[in-house]
Amino acid sequence: MKVLVIGSGGREHAILWSLKQTSPLPLDLYCAPGNAGIAELAECASIPPGNHASLIEFVKEKGIDLTIVGPETPLADGIVDSFEDAGLAIAGPSKAAARLEASKAFAKDFMRRHGIPTADYRVARSTADVSDALSSGAFGPATTRVVVKADGLAAGKGVVIADSHEEAKDAARALLAGEVADAGAAEQVVIEEALEGTEASLLLFADGNAYALMPAARDHKRIGEHDSGPNTGGMGAITDASILSSEMLARLEREVIEPTLAGCRSEGFPYRGVLFLGLMLTKNGPRLLEYNVRFGDPETQAILVRLKTSLLDVFQATRSGRLGETKVEWSDEASACVVLASRGYPGRYEKGASIDGLETVVGDIQVFHAGTTKNGEGDFVTSGGRVLGVTASAATLGVALKRCYEAVERIRWDGMQYRRDIGRLNEVGEHVSG
């Protein structure tokens, strides 16, 4: 079997590692474009994820049996539809289904149509609409916090949590005017009630009808310890049974997952692939913040080290509609992924630093590469903001974290930064020592 994974981050490294790890048969693995760590287990082709025609040509030339898509942008651009039109097998949601992530206004309206609990919101197309929405009373007095979100994909830069209506208006104006670096000009923005609670990421595989849950995970989005400083792509993730109780999982299946999959079917885009629910557990019950139509990064690293079933079989089942007959099994453990990042990240960051100590990390610790390349001497050097994700599973979260941090201590480069408090937040989001 030949399998191609599209993408170049820690998530894609983890997908490829897991495909290999869980497959009973040897696989020929490919990645486009990949990174230096991925190149140790897959043949990398330097085709950008946006170039669907070249990817199709590559798949035909190599005789690749299945393609798996990591990031959201190619999905939003309809890569699944392009591959299927070309008669090629690809796992992931169609362009129509990918609107659940590609347009926040579409996603919020979808949640409303299907009675899925979410924050109250209004969609606004102009600064005048924003002022009307805020003065309508729906968002409380002018001193209330509100969240402003750019409608489209915005590389993580499209969400502003504003402390007052005035700040929200400024943020909305900047998003609509395209003044936010990397975010592009939004055609519309979503103004949303700010919720309080604990966040959780719940991912699942779906085949249009049936679904299989993955272990619940928690991301750590801020750059600094105690959740300080700006948001990043994610500085670490954990999976642990304490994140969502079995009662809460049952409630989420009933109130969020089943109505979502039924809604996709009834609106003509049955959902196939990986679906990611970004949740806020509030004192009034769970609320869905967002859908992502793909694996999360770094949640995937922490999740997939616990997978026992063949990941290839699971992806095939999402395509063939046989997920209901496939038992997707996970180790009965907890896991953690600690992200090591470059100095300066999430702002302008340094590149080209030599990474030492990687060869000393052995045993059951996985070091997934996110932003690495090799220098002329064949040594790994940094080439991205997030560079490595040190990942381990163990019987308890405490042991998994201890193993990750012991490995982290062995790795170094000039400017390496990481959070020392991954997994050390209690259920109300407070930092706990130990």
| Residue 186 interacting with ligand AMP (CB under 6 A) | no
| Residue 157 interacting with ligand AMP (CB under 6 A) | no
Q: Which residues bind ligand GLY (CB under 6 A)?
A: 219, 234, 292, 296-297, 299
E-only strand ranges, 188-327: 189-193, 198-207, 211-213, 217-219, 222-224, 228-231, 236-239, 272-282, 285-292
Binding track over 267-286 against ligand AMP, x by CB under 6 A: -----------x--------
Give the shortest CB-335-to-ligand AMP separation in angstroms: 20
199 binds, among ligand AMP, ligand GLY, none (CB under 5 to 8 A by kind): ligand AMP
Q: Which CB atom, from 36 or from 252, has the smaller least distance to ligand AMP?
A: 252
| Residue 175 interacting with ligand AMP (CB under 6 A) | no
Cα–Cα distance for residue pair 171/167, rounded to 1 Å: 6
Provide the pairing of β-strand 146-150 with 159-162: antiparallel
| Residue 293 interacting with ligand AMP (CB under 6 A) | no
- Range in contact with ligand AMP (rule: CB under 6 A) among 135-143, 188-196, 346-354, 362-370: 188-196
296 binds, among ligand AMP, ligand GLY, none (CB under 5 to 8 A by kind): ligand GLY
List binders of ligand AMP among 209-268 (CB under 6 A).
221
Binding track over 75-114 against ligand AMP, x by CB under 6 A: ----------------------------------------
Q: Which CB atom, from 334 or from 353, has the smaller least distance to ligand GLY?
A: 334
147 binds, among ligand AMP, ligand GLY, none (CB under 5 to 8 A by kind): ligand AMP
Contact predicate 312/282, CB 8 Å: no
Cα–Cα distance for residue pair 12/68, rounded to 1 Å: 9
Provide the pairing of β-strand 66-69 with 2-7: parallel
12 binds, among ligand AMP, ligand GLY, none (CB under 5 to 8 A by kind): none
Burial of 144 (0-12, 13-18, 19+ CB in 10 A): middle
> Cis before residue 49, ω within 30 degrees of 0?
no
- Classify 374 as helix, strand or coil: strand
Q: List, in sequence order, the alpha helices (H) in 31-126.
A: 52-62, 72-76, 79-85, 95-102, 104-113
Among 130, 176, 195, 261, binds ligand AMP (CB under 6 A): 195
Q: Which CB atom, from 99 or from 149, has the smaller least distance to ligand AMP?
A: 149
Looking up tokens 């996709």, which residue turns up?
A: 264
